[in-house]
């Protein structure tokens, strides 16, 4: 039923009621024309008054469904609400009393009736549906709250794209002291809001931002919530129509970009900001298309390359972990296949000796060539060198082969085989196990007043140049210590002085690893003397004109015979090919003896001035001498050239005996 307003003639109680009665009978209830009122006329609620204008005046209410019209015209009413208040809130608890039979009853304009009407001067809550035959009009502007009705103009603006942005406000607790208008971020860990600071990435990057619509403290709700999107009118001192960013001041915004650039919106006035976080930091369609990449789907294993990544070139570079001529590298991320044009850079672990291959991430060994399809020369890839390869669809092409660059040695062109920086002396000793060639190495020993002695391993390449493959320091020797070397079998033996005490150590002929101090049985070696080998034993030039032979057994050498070498010197470089023993003196003159000893043969004197500028001094003592296998024309000597700034070792061919 609906509520209805009626006007009736005054009536009376058919019998008296006390102040607690909720049932009554009226003598009648007549319309103005004298006909009886029905229950349908009353509706679901009607207000009346007992004894109006008397001391017993009382307000009551009835419900139409509780009204019965009797045949004799009397009206029975049940569930009467008694003692209604005459002032707001107009509910029960007001004055009520007894009323006698014949007491006057009227229905009309009680305060409760007017309270049911909408009041123009007050805010009204409409609890029931109201239908309008004409649409209401509003001059209050556009709706800004989710519960507000919008006007036709706003709906039209929304449809045509000219409407203002709706506000999105959520409730939330503060994680610290917050002031109205401050820029906040949502901390996922505790679900509370904290002040943003462009100095700290974790407070502005990849998180939810908002603006406080009121004050808040740690653990308490932020008054009026947090604006996530829309117009904020809590700002002060803005410049109209200006872009604003997260500030380096906690909770602030600024027209100046902070340390971490995060746009927060555009000011609409000096006090309002259209809050639209990162409005100008979105990806364009072209940028989204570009992010697809040009090879494979971007993922945690196929990442975009940064500028620093390009500088480091880590995607294309790796150190070799393979053996001679079979280079192995592992790139990250892992390539799925070899592709024509693919570029890799690697640091070689060893020198190549002819043909070589490379295996990238176990994709299979591929031959390394140079030029178009030229086979590598020995030493095209030097030990510890950095190399660039490009895959041509079949092979990897070496872009920087070493053998293309050096000048082959001639009788007029010495080759540098070592440099010690600093004003110190360089002493060289060399030896060959079976002869200097493209398959057999030679070894150079050098000492310096500025560092520990070193030995190095060299090979001759097919173009005639030489390249160092390995180098290692002699730990048993002291600074400024002379050293001599020779080769027996698979080992290089080094005689050095450690604080005036001779020491013999050995190294692997292949890569100069496995340094081992030898035990000397019998007579010790003599300090500051030379050694050489006939391929089986070690000879020590312990005194002028005589040598001492040492046999080798494991890591022990034992002194033995002392054959005579006429006019030999103790501090010259010596070398033996197993048939003859060769030596070079401090003056640069070569000598030769039979391996069993005896008289010497004098050879060529080295023309020092032909190769070294004035001011340099040749360190002939402990220089080296050796022959090349198959070369009956030349003998090679190694000498140190000392200047005031550096000492340079030279490998020089001279005329054979």
Average pLDDT over residues 612-629: 46
- How many angstroms separate the CA atoms of 453 and 512, rounded? 14
Q: Percent of the chain, pLDDT > 70?
A: 80
Query: What's the pLDDT at 619?
Result: 42
The CATH superfamily assigned to 415-655 is Glycosyl hydrolase domain; family 43 (2.115.10.20)
Q: Percent of the chain, pLDDT > 90?
A: 42
Query: What's the pLDDT at 209?
Result: 97
For residue 504, pLDDT beyond 70: yes
Reported as a single tens digit per residue, the pLDDT across 323-334 is 888 999 999 888
- How many angstroms separate the CA atoms of 70 and 67, rounded? 10
CB 405 within 8 A of CB 398: no
Q: Where does residue 657 rank: exposed (0-12), middle (13-18), buried (19+ CB within 10 A)? A: middle
Query: What's the pLDDT at 588?
Result: 67
CB 241 within 8 A of CB 182: no
Reported as a single tens digit per residue, the pLDDT across 176-198 is 999 999 999 999 999 999 999 99
Reported as a single tens digit per residue, the pLDDT across 559-606 is 999 998 887 776 567 777 778 887 777 666 778 888 888 888 887 665
pLDDT band at 631 (very low <50, low <70, confident <90, very high): low
Query: What's the pLDDT at 248?
Result: 96
Chain-centroid distance of CA 648 in Å reads 45
DSSP conformational letter for 572: S
Residues 6+ apart with CB under 8 A from 606: 584, 588, 589, 590, 637, 639, 652, 654
Q: Count other C-beta atoms under 10 Å from residue 21's C-beta.
A: 14
Reported as a single tens digit per residue, the pLDDT across 138-161 is 887 777 777 788 887 777 776 666
- The residue behind tokens 């290089």 is 492
CB 616 within 8 A of CB 641: yes
CB 539 within 8 A of CB 574: yes
For residue 656, pLDDT beyond 70: no
Higher pLDDT pick, 560 / 420 = 560
- Every domain of the chain and the residues it spans: 11-115, 168-275, 307-404, 415-655
Query: What's the pLDDT at 150?
Result: 81
Query: What's the pLDDT at 162?
Result: 57
- Averaged pLDDT of the chain: 81
Query: What's the pLDDT at 633?
Result: 53
Query: What's the pLDDT at 657?
Result: 63
pLDDT band at 16 (very low <50, low <70, confident <90, very high): very high
Phi–psi pair at 426, nearest 5 degrees? -115, 125
Higher pLDDT pick, 154 / 79 = 79
Structure tokens that stand for 590 in this block: 């070569």
Q: What is the secondary structure of 539-556 as a DSSP string?
A: EEEEETTEEEEEEEETTE
For residue 46, pLDDT beyond 60: yes
Describe the chain by its helix, strand, coil percentages, rounded to 5: 5, 40, 55
| Entry field: residues in the chain | 657
Reported as a single tens digit per residue, the pLDDT across 350-362 is 988 889 999 999 9
Reported as a single tens digit per residue, the pLDDT across 468-479 is 788 888 876 655
Higher pLDDT pick, 636 / 241 = 241
Query: What's the pLDDT at 449?
Result: 58
For residue 553, pLDDT beyond 90: yes
Q: In what order do the strands lie in the sheet with 546-553?
A: 519-521, 556-559, 546-553, 538-543, 531-533
Query: What's the pLDDT at 180?
Result: 97
Q: What is the secondary structure of 613-647 as a DSSP string?
A: -TT-EEEEEEEEEEEBTT-SSEEEEEEEEE-SSEE
Query: What's the pLDDT at 461?
Result: 66
Query: What's the pLDDT at 235?
Result: 96
Query: What's the pLDDT at 348?
Result: 93
């Amino acid at each position: 039923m609906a509520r209805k307003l009626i006007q009736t003639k005054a009536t009376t109680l058919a019998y008296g009621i006390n102040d607690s009665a909720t049932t009554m009978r009226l003598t009648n209830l007549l319309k103005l024309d004298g006909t009886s009122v029905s229950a349908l006329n009353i509706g679901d609620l009607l207000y009346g008054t007992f004894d109006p204008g008397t001391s017993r005046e009382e307000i009551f209410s009835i419900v139409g469904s509780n009204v019965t019209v009797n045949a004799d015209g009397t009206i029975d009413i049940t569930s009467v609400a008694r003692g209604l208040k005459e002032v707001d809130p107009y509910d029960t608890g007001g004055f009520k009393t007894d009323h006698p039979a014949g007491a006057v009853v009227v229905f009309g304009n009680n305060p409760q009736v007017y309270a049911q009407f909408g009041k123009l001067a007050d805010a009204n809550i409409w609890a029931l549906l109201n239908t309008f035959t004409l649409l209401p009009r509003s001059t209050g502007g556009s709706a800004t709250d989710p519960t507000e009705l919008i006007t036709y103009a706003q709906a039209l603006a929304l449809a045509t794209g000219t409407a203002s942005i709706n506000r999105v406000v959520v409730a939330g607790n503060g994680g610290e002291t917050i002031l109205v208008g401050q820029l906040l971020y949502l901390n996922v860990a505790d679900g509370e809001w904290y002040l943003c600071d462009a100095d700290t990435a974790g407070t502005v990057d990849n998180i939810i931002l908002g603006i406080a619509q009121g004050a808040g403290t740690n653990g308490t709700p932020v008054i009026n919530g947090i604006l996530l999107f829309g117009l904020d009118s809590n700002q002060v001192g803005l410049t109209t129509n200006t872009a604003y960013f997260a500030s380096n001041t906690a909770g602030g915004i600024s027209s100046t970009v902070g340390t971490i650039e995060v746009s927060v919106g555009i000011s609409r006035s000096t006090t309002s900001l259209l809050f639209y976080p990162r409005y100008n930091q979105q990806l364009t369609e072209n940028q989204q298309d570009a992010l697809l990449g040009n090879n494979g789907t971007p993922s945690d294993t196929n990442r975009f390359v940064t500028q620093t990544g390009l500088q480091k070139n880590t995607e294309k570079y790796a150190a070799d972990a393979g053996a001679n001529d079979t280079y192995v590298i592992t790139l990250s991320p892992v390539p799925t296949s070899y592709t024509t044009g693919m570029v890799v850079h690697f640091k070689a672990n060893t020198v190549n000796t002819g043909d070589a291959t490379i295996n990238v991430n176990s994709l299979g060994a591929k031959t390394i060539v140079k030029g178009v399809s030229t086979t590598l020369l020995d030493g095209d890839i030097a030990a510890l060198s950095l190399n660039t390869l490009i895959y041509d669809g079949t092979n990897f092409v070496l872009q920087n082969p070493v053998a293309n660059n050096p000048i082959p040695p001639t009788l007029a062109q010495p080759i540098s085989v070592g440099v010690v920086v600093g004003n110190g002396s360089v002493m060289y000793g060399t030896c060959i196990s079976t002869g200097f060639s493209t398959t057999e190495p030679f070894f150079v020993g050098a000492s310096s007043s500025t560092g520990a002695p070193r030995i190095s391993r060299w090979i001759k390449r097919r173009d005639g140049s030489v390249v160092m493959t390995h180098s290692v320091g002699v730990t048993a020797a002291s600074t400024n210590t002379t050293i001599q070397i020779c080769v027996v079998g698979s080992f290089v033996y080094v005689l050095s002085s450690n604080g005036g005490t001779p020491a013999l150590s050995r190294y692997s002929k292949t890569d100069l690893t496995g340094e081992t101090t030898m035990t000397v049985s019998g007579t010790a070696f003599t300090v500051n003397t030379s050694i050489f080998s006939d391929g089986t034993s070690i000879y020590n030039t312990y005194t002028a004109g005589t040598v001492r032979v040492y046999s080798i057994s494991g890591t022990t050498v034992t002194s033995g015979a002392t054959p005579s070498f006429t006019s030999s010197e103790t501090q010259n470089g010596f070398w033996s090919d197993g048939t003859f023993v060769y030596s070079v003196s401090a003056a640069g003159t070569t000598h030769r003896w039979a391996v069993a000893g005896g008289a010497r043969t004098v050879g060529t004197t080295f023309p020092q001035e032909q190769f070294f500028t004035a001011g340099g001094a040749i360190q002939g003592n402990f220089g080296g001498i050796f022959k090349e296998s198959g070369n009956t024309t030349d003998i090679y000597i190694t000498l140190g050239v000392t200047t005031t700034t550096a000492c340079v070792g030279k490998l020089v061919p001279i005329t054979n005996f």
